[in-house]
Amino acid sequence: MSNDKYIQRDSYLNKLILRKDNGEVKIITGPRRCGKSWLLSHIYRDYLTAQGVPSENIIALDFDKDDDKYDFDILDPKAVKNHIYSQIKSDTENYYIFLDEIQELE
């Protein structure tokens, strides 16, 4: 997959692709500002959509943002769980849930 909008991180992307749909949670770690969020929110998201995953099947929550884009308390675990479940419309399709800065959640 070639994309001129950003530097490809093929090594990291391929690790995610290899483990895609294996039923396990993936945790991306690394130093601050090294591109972990970018890898998920742009590179991996673009890969998934290029593979035919509908955008509504990619649920992304950023716990580091203090803005009004969420209509629920982003730091309340029950509210987050309810929001995620409300986005899942099918029992037969795969969904991809990106949780950025999850350590901020109580």
Contact criterion met (CB below 8 Å) for 31 and 80: no
Give residue 9's pLDDT. 79
Q: How many CA atoms lie within 13 A of 21 on its CB side?
A: 7
pLDDT at 26 over 80: yes
**Mean pLDDT (the chain, rounded):** 89
pLDDT at 2 over 70: no
Please give the model's pTM, rounded to 2 decimal places. 0.83
CA distance 47 to 70: 25
12-17 mean pLDDT: 92
CA distance 97 to 69: 17
Q: Report residue 65's pLDDT band, with 50, 70 and 90 as the boundaries.
A: low
CA atoms 54, 15, 31, 76: torsion sign: positive
Backbone angles phi, psi at 95, to 5 degrees: -125, 145
pLDDT at 68 over 80: no
Q: Report residue 56's pLDDT band, with 50, 70 and 90 as the boundaries.
A: very high
Residue % of the chain over a pLDDT of 70: 91
